[in-house]
Each structure stands twice: as C-alpha cells, then as structure tokens.
Amino acid sequence: MSQQILKTIAGVIKQQRRQILLCTNNHVQCLTKLQHSDETQREVQHHGNYANDWWNLNGAMKALHSLNAIRVPFIRDGLVARGNISPDLVNTCQVLKDQQILEVGCGGGILTEQLARLGAQMTGIDLSDELICVAREHLSHVADPKLCDLIQYKIEPLDIHVKDKLNYYDAVVVSEVLEHVEDKVALLTSCVQCLKPGGSLFITTLNKTIPMWLGGVLLGEYILRIAPIGTHHWDKMISPLDVQRILDTMGCQTVVINGSTYDFVRNTWRWINTTDMCYALQAWDVIQSLSMAALMSFGVIHGAGSIQRICFMLYRQK
C-alpha cells in the first residue's frame, strides 16, 4: 500500500472521526434525556406494575419464561460458535463460566438467572426500581447459593453504566427490550461500547410487520390477553434489516438472524424459517478487534462506506 493512499485514508479518518464524535455524543445525550422522558417513564411504570407477578410461570410474563427455552441456547451456542468458550467447558453445565455478560433491561431477572446457571458472570441493569427489587428478592431465595455470587443487579441507565464498563463485556444481551425504546441508535451505541474487542451482541425482539401486529399484538394483548394491553406499540417495532444497518455503522457484523414465533395455546416458542413475527440476532464486534494497519487496509478495500465504521471504533478507543 502506497504512502499516498495511507495518508489519504488517515486524513479522511481524522475528518470523519470529528463527525462521528459529534454524532455519537449527541446520541448519548439523547439517550440520557430519554431515560427521563415521559414516554420512557410510562414504559418503566407499565412493566413495574407487574412486578409482583413477574415470577409467576402462568402469569402476565409467562411468555418471557417460556422464551428461555430458545433464547438461552441461542446465546450459549452463539458464544461457543464465536470461539469464546474453552473446549473443556463446551459440553458441560458450566459452559459460560468466566464469561462477563451484561443484560440490558433485565427486568425481574428471568433470563439473567438462567445464564448465570450456565456459569456466566451476569450483570443486570434496569430503570425500574420495582423490577430490580423483585430480581434481587428472587435471587435471595434460590436454592443454589453460588448463584448469588454470579449475579449483580443495578438500577442504572445504560449510558451511565458504560462509563465504568467501556469495552468490558464478552457479550451484551438486549432481549425483548428494543421494542420498548424510542432511540434505538443511542441504545445500541452504548451496548456496542460495552463490548470487548470481538464481543457479541444478542438481540431478541418483535419484527415490524402486519402479521406481527395482527397476530402478536392485537390477538395476544387485546383478545387472548396473553400479554398486558399496551405492552407493544407499532412505532417502536423495528425490522432485523434496520437493526443490521445500524450495527453495521458501528463496526458490528451481523452473523445470525433466526425467526421465531410464539404458540399461545401451548405457551411455547419455536424457530421458524421467516422473521415475519419475531427474531433473534447475533452480531460480532469485528472492527475494534482489528489492528490499525488492518483498519487501513479495510478502508481501502471496502471504500468510503467503511470509514464511518473505523471512526466509530476510534471513538470507542478515545
């Protein structure tokens, strides 16, 4: 690679980095404001109203409990496929031992506890005082005392959490949360900043489709009352393609998108060959794990569109 090309790329990076810094800082400021917005508080209060029923397997959150049957293996297998797991642990009940995992919007801890049972060192954060209290209370009564040493719950906004945990986690999990957030770019920005180089981001959410709205929301909430009325809103849903596009600008490569659906009658989830209803997504942080020389080559090979991703990585190293 000629010195002129390197000089040109370096100049573009320097210029673009200023823009990314400004853009990303605006996202973080926006996220901070959203923590205290009326809409965010309504979402927090809505879910907090069901705190006392959170661990009722046949209650309002029963679909979240049954979702563990597919989302826990999805996360486990995704980390194994990424090469994070020691071969000695792969086929054991402690397959996630020593993995630092953050769950954003952990609620009452339904998923957090299950991942900890596989050995993961879990941190669960949520904006709801009521739900974190429920999570802590339930954890204090579990039969396995070792579980308490593997889980830490915090009532803390993500943008505050990332300040102390920059590039810290092997994985960040955002399960059934994205459809309740207004500024998804700001949320995902902070999630990616929490990841170690090469870390994995796991997302499960509802797709923004007519079948999902009719079958999942109108039928599930307003007719069958499987979920509380008003839990989901059309304008907050997002397609997997839009999530992938957002993550691509942040230097994350989407490697898996699986479609899923919920059986209201059997209270079970299963994988399907379409994402029309719900989906699970895994993305790898690939840009940050590259050396500067590799970044330069990446920029030259993939063109100007990749410069933004490089600049985002530089911001995270700032």
The binding site for Mg(2+) comprises 176, 179-180
CA neighbor of 125 nearest in space, from 100, 155, 148: 155
Kindly give, in sequence order, each residue whose CB lies less than 8 Å from that of residue 49, ignoring residues fewer than 6 positions away: 228
Q: In what order do the strands lie in the sheet with 252-263?
A: 151-155, 121-126, 100-104, 169-175, 195-206, 278-285, 252-263, 268-272
Name the token pair of 52: 């006392």
Residue 118, φ and ψ in degrees, nearest 5: -90, 5
* Residues that constitute the known binding site for S-adenosyl-L-methionine: 71, 105, 126, 175
Kindly give, in sequence order, each residue whose CB lies less than 8 Å from that of residue 181, ignoring residues fewer than 6 positions away: 34, 187, 236
Helix, strand, or coil here: 201?
A: strand
DSSP H helices in 126-254: 129-140, 146-150, 158-164, 184-194, 210-211, 240-249
* Residues that constitute the known binding site: 71, 105, 126, 175-176, 179-180
Radius of gyration of the chain (CA): 20
Place of tokens 């979702």: 67
